[in-house]
Amino acid sequence: MVFFSPTIRALPWVAIALLSLPVAGGLAGVLAPALGWLPALGGHELTLEHWQTLAATPGLADMVRLSLTTGLASALISLAIVMLFIGAFAETRALALVRRLLSPLLAVPHAAAAIGIAFLLTPSGLASRLISPWPSGLDTPPDYLFPGDPWGLGLILGLVIKEVPFLLLMSLAALPQCQAQSRLRLARSLGYAPLTAFAKAVLPGLYPLIRLPVYAVIAFASANVEVAMILGPTTPPPLAVAVVRWINDPDLTMRFVASAAALLQLGVTLAALGLWWLGERLVARLTQAALTDGRRHSGDRLWAGAGGLTTLLAVALLGGSLVGLVLWSLAAWWPFPATLPSPLSLHAWRGAMPGLKEPLAQTAVIGLAATGLSLVLAIGALEAEHLRGRGMAAWAELVLYLPLVVPPVAFLFGLVQLQVQAGLAPGAMAVILAHSLFVLPYVFLSLSESYRRIDPRWAQVAAGLGHSPASRFMRVRLPLLTVPILTAAAVGFAVSVGQYLPTLLMSAGRLTTLTTEAVSLASGGDRRLAAVYALMQLLLPALAFALALTLPRLLMHRRSGVLNP
Amino acid sequence: MTLLDSFTSSRATEPRAERPINTEVASNAALILEDIRIDQGDRPLVSLDARIAPGEVLTLMGPSGVGKSTLLAYIAGFLAPAFRARGRVLLDDTDLTRLAPETRHLGLLFQDPLLFPHLSVGGNLAFGMPREGSRRERRRRIEAALEEIGLAGLAKRDPETLSGGQRSRVALMRVLLSRPRAMLLDEPFSKLDASLRHEMRSLVFARVHRLGLPTLMVTHDAADAKSAGGPVIELGGAS
């Protein structure tokens, strides 16, 4: 094992290269065609003509406006819900319960959640059936446009439902770092009501720690494709959806316009981040005086009620969506306003079975490969930290967020163009690498806290007993981390299962996964089949989490110290 | 082969019977700490120059923050990058200063027993044993070692199911089975309650004396130093 230390020390650099090169290369790969240069499609000279075409596109301003408003509004609402929830429920059992539910909630793929919400709230959905014919008095579906309302409210809702668990997870991980508990107790003992204590004593320390995740949320929401395709308005759609349409346009010269639009999307996302940043300054300045004005109660009951209510609403929405999906998948004949389909039938499932096999296998193989690669790199990067005895540099931590902040539609499309220019065949390898760009950051974020918290004395004891660094890693540190590693693997697998755009673009539409199928079925007419695919999409990550939970208990059932560290 | 006192799980503080043990003595060298000085940034933190004879226990005392544990970390080979150190660590003529921690053969005992939770009690002992002998031979030695500390037949147990005192004894046996050439004790008794502390002290010091291991102990507790019976160096306050 002479090669152990050099290998481990090299892995962080491999991880950094994997995360940064495709993003940088992808942006370069979209910049050139945007300026007219793409020899493979006959573009040989630099021109601004494609930008002019883009600018003349009808509805462009609406697209940009939609991307900005839905991105910022969903991030703001998510952050508010999370902060109210933590503030109202800090140090209660509810928080401990939610903490345990978080990972599976995070695992719900965006598309599945969006389909669930669409089917729940659509005029003929479960929600309006529950209030019809009594008390609403309706015996035909009400007349409103959902999904796809022109203001993007449905889209905002879908994004919030998915962003809340993520921000909650990141906030809970950050709480101990800012000594939240002692700050809170100190403020309470000085007479501050719980939420006021949280807002004045904890929040100023907590927010800087979750700023990067918040930026990732804004970036994701302002550039998301699959949620917007399912829940967003269609004419015009948000900019990212339009970019994908142009990319898939049979007229290949549209790719030049698509490249320009992809860069515009980058600009829109950066603008959203910039606006948020300005908002941060403004809020900091406006609230500075209030922090020390000595008020002990500022509408605590009201805010706590709002926190509880919104959390309840979010849970009800997710639960209702799930029930709705199950009912739709079992429905044969389900006239409005019947609450339940009758009779229940497995017809849709039986019909879907033959077609499910291939997407299921593709999804699993891609997910396992991307997760495996990401685990090796994440563990390597963390073990290298341990070997060096020093944490990773701040800039390296930023690289981790690169694929989460740069709009995927921009750099992935650039990679496709590079692929075309280099004459490489699109396929599974490219898809797996592209998935890893998004899986690795989540695997790393999920694992890093536990990994950095291992008591260094474990390794010291082992070294004192004559064990080499490789043996200490394999025989002490890895087994101690069995549970967090399996959890991180499940998170990574779930992230991969949920990926839509990387699969679509990097395989040139030739690979079908559960997610690509679900998204394309969602806009089609067959709700039953779409429900089956959305449920399958949920089932796979759920299976991964169940395995992560039960495997250590089976393998190490007499090692309670590993299971409950 | 050396004779070592057996230990029974009762409050036995005096050796009652003597029996051969399976922890052979690797060498009887003295541990020499030659003009060691540790700086934190530009600030001198701690310095020590000492020779610890085989079987002798040198006790370092002093308030927290004077660098006792840092010194121990340096000797064991784990100094954090924030510190700079000079001076040599020797076992008689063998210079350990540049060696990797795992090749120094210095046995560490901390205030927590740190039994690996992913291994059984016997697995923890096997983890410390040198890689030699048949499987049956190793198993026999583990059984014998457990018997010596009054835990006969518990090899397959989950360490979590042991009492605090039992865990400390297993941790001690694990170190001794690795045939250390010197011992480093980092406040080894501070987390035990009064009666257990008494028991563990006699257990540890009796073995250290009999095996002829030079031992460096860091502690807050003057009673530890008294029980060890060796020289005491006060760090910090005195100088």
Interface touch A466/B80, C-beta < 8 Å: no
DSSP string, A333-392: ---TT-SS-SSB-SHHHHHHHHHHHHHHHHHHHHHHHHHHHHHHHHHHHHHHHHHHTSPP
Burial class of residue A423 (count of CB atoms within 10 Å of its CB; 0-12, 13-18, 19+): exposed
Q: In what order do the strands lie in the sheet with B106-109?
A: B106-109, B182-186, B215-219, B57-61, B232-234
Interface touch B118/A460, C-beta < 8 Å: no
C-beta separation of A325 from A120 below 8 A: no
Q: What is the sign of the dihedral through the CA atoms of A319, A155, A533 and A489?
A: negative
Distance of CA A532 to the CA centre of its chain: 22
Q: Which residue has the tokens 């918290």?
A: A453
- Residue range A166-171: mean pLDDT, rounded: 89
C-alpha distance from residue B107 to each of A104, B151, B187, B216 (Å):
44, 21, 14, 10
| Best residue in A454, A460, A483 for a mutation probing chain B (most B CBs within 10 Å) | A460
Q: How far is B30 from chain A (nearest CA, A)?
A: 18
Interface touch B130/A475, C-beta < 8 Å: no
C-beta separation of A168 from A108 below 8 A: no
What three-state secondary structure class fits A176? helix
Residue A142: is the preceding peptide bond cis (ω within 30°)?
no
Interface touch B158/A559, C-beta < 8 Å: yes
What three-state secondary structure class fits A151? coil
Amino acid in the structure at residue A203: L
Q: How far is B116 from chain A (nearest CA, A)?
A: 7
Give the separation between CA B7 and CA A138, rounded to whole angstroms. 84
Tell me the per-residue pLDDT of B121-168, one tens digit each, with 9 for 90 and over.
999 999 988 888 889 999 999 999 999 999 999 999 999 999 999 999
Tell me the per-residue pLDDT of A117-165, one tens digit each, with 9 for 90 and over.
999 999 988 888 988 888 888 888 888 888 889 999 999 999 999 899 8
Give the separation between CA A24 and CA A33, rounded to whole angstroms. 15
Which chain B residue's Cα is nearest to A553? B118
Interface touch A556/B77, C-beta < 8 Å: no
* Stretch (H or E) spanning B159: none
Q: How far is A467 from chain B (nearest CA, A)?
A: 5
Q: Which residue has the tokens 């209660």?
A: A92
pLDDT at A103 over 50: yes
Q: Which residues contact A512 (CB under 8 A, 6 or more apart)?
A: A358, A359, A362
- Chain B contacts in chain A segment 332-361 (CB below 8 A): none
| Best residue in A2, A387, A465 for a mutation probing chain B (most B CBs within 10 Å) | A465
Q: How far is A486 from chain B (nearest CA, A)?
A: 15
Query: By the CB < 8 Å criterion, does B67 face chain A?
Result: no
Q: How far is A35 from chain B (nearest CA, A)?
A: 50
Query: By the CB < 8 Å criterion, does A560 face chain B?
Result: yes
Which chain A residue's Cα is nearest to B119? A559
* Stretch (H or E) spanning B190: none
C-beta separation of B59 from B220 below 8 A: no
Query: By the CB < 8 Å criterion, does B117 face chain A?
Result: yes
- Chain B contacts in chain A segment 381-400 (CB below 8 A): 388-390
- A507-A511-A513 Cα angle (round to 5): 125
DSSP string, B5-17: E---SSS--S---
Interface touch A460/B78, C-beta < 8 Å: yes
Confidence of residue B3 (pLDDT cuts 50, 70, 90): very low
- B115 interaction partners in chain A (CB closer than 8 Å): 561
Question: Tell me, what's the pLDDT at B27?
Answer: 54
User: In CATH, what is the architecture of A1-38+347-565?
Assistant: Orthogonal Bundle (1.10)
Interface touch A461/B178, C-beta < 8 Å: no
Tell me the per-residue pLDDT of A453-476, one tens digit each, with 9 for 90 and over.
889 899 999 999 999 999 999 999
Give the separation between CA B77 and CA B100, rounded to whole angstroms. 7
C-beta separation of A407 from A15 below 8 A: no
pLDDT at A408 over 90: yes
Question: Tell me, what's the pLDDT at A279?
Answer: 96
Give the separation between CA A492 and CA A23, rounded to whole angstroms. 19
Query: By the CB < 8 Å criterion, does A2 face chain B?
Result: no
- B229-B235-B239 Cα angle (round to 5): 125
Interface touch B114/A479, C-beta < 8 Å: no
Could you tell me the fold of the domain covering A53-345? MetI-like fold (1.10.3720)
Confidence of residue B12 (pLDDT cuts 50, 70, 90): very low
Question: Tell me, what's the pLDDT at B19?
Answer: 40
Query: By the CB < 8 Å criterion, does B84 face chain A?
Result: no
Q: Which residues contact A71 (CB under 8 A, 6 or more apart)?
A: A218, A219, A221, A222, A223, A269, A272
Query: By the CB < 8 Å criterion, does A557 face chain B?
Result: no
Q: How far is B81 from chain A (nearest CA, A)?
A: 7
C-beta separation of B158 from A559 below 8 A: yes
The tokens describing B164, both together, are 């605090």
Interface touch B178/A466, C-beta < 8 Å: yes
Which chain B residue's Cα is nearest to A386? B80
Which residue in A464, A466, A480 is closest to B118 by CB distance? A480
Name the average pLDDT for chain A: 90
Q: Which of B156, B153, B187, B159 is nearest to B171 (CA)?
A: B159
Selected residue with higher pLDDT from B8 and B29: B29
Interface touch B160/A556, C-beta < 8 Å: no
pLDDT at B239 over 70: no
DSSP tag of B53 = -
| Torsion angle in degrees (nearest 10) through CA of A481, A482, A487, A489 | 100
- B103 interaction partners in chain A (CB closer than 8 Å): 466
Give the separation between CA A462 and CA A456, rounded to whole angstroms. 10
- A561 interaction partners in chain B (CB closer than 8 Å): 115, 117-118, 158-160
- B114 interaction partners in chain A (CB closer than 8 Å): 455, 457-458, 461
| Best residue in B75, B99, B102 for a mutation probing chain A (most A CBs within 10 Å) | B102
- B100 interaction partners in chain A (CB closer than 8 Å): 463, 468-469
Distance of CA B174 to the CA centre of its chain: 10
Question: Tell me, what's the pLDDT at A100?
Answer: 77
pLDDT at B200 over 60: yes
- B73 interaction partners in chain A (CB closer than 8 Å): 460
Confidence of residue A565 (pLDDT cuts 50, 70, 90): low
C-beta separation of A123 from A144 below 8 A: yes
User: In CATH, what is the architecture of B3-117+180-234?
Assistant: 3-Layer(aba) Sandwich (3.40)
Q: Which residue has the tokens 């998004």?
A: A438
**Which residues belong to CATH 1.10.3720.10 in chain A?**
1-38+347-565, 53-345
- Residue range B22-39: mean pLDDT, rounded: 78
What three-state secondary structure class fits A3? coil
Query: By the CB < 8 Å criterion, does B101 face chain A?
Result: yes
Query: By the CB < 8 Å criterion, does B163 face chain A?
Result: no
Q: How far is B172 from chain A (nearest CA, A)?
A: 11
C-alpha distance from residue A8 to each of A2, A15, A21, A476 (Å):
11, 11, 20, 16
Question: Tell me, what's the pLDDT at A92?
Answer: 78
Q: Model ipTM?
A: 0.76
Interface touch B105/A463, C-beta < 8 Å: no
Which residue in A455, A465, A558 is closest to B178 by CB distance? A465
Interface touch A466/B107, C-beta < 8 Å: no
Tell me the per-residue pLDDT of A322-377, one tens digit each, with 9 for 90 and over.
999 999 999 988 888 888 888 889 999 999 999 999 999 999 999 999 999 999 99
Q: What is the sign of the dihedral through the CA atoms of A254, A261, A523 and A542?
A: positive
Out of A142-151, A287-296, B123-132, B184-193, least confident range: A287-296
Burial string for B145-182 (b: 16+ CB within 10 Å, else e) reads bbbbbbbeebbebbbeebeebbbbbbbbbbbbbbbbbb
- B89 interaction partners in chain A (CB closer than 8 Å): none
C-beta separation of A375 from A492 below 8 A: yes
Query: By the CB < 8 Å criterion, does A458 face chain B?
Result: yes
Confidence of residue A1 (pLDDT cuts 50, 70, 90): low
Q: How far is B175 from chain A (nearest CA, A)?
A: 7
Interface touch B117/A565, C-beta < 8 Å: yes
Question: Tell me, what's the pLDDT at B141?
Answer: 93
Give the separation between CA B168 and CA B192, rounded to whole angstroms. 9
Tell me the per-residue pLDDT of A227-271, one tens digit each, with 9 for 90 and over.
999 999 988 999 999 999 999 888 888 989 999 999 999 999 999
Tell me the per-residue pLDDT of A43-91, one tens digit each, with 9 for 90 and over.
888 888 889 999 999 999 999 999 999 999 999 999 999 999 898 888 7
Query: By the CB < 8 Å criterion, does B41 face chain A?
Result: no
- B184-B188-B189 Cα angle (round to 5): 155
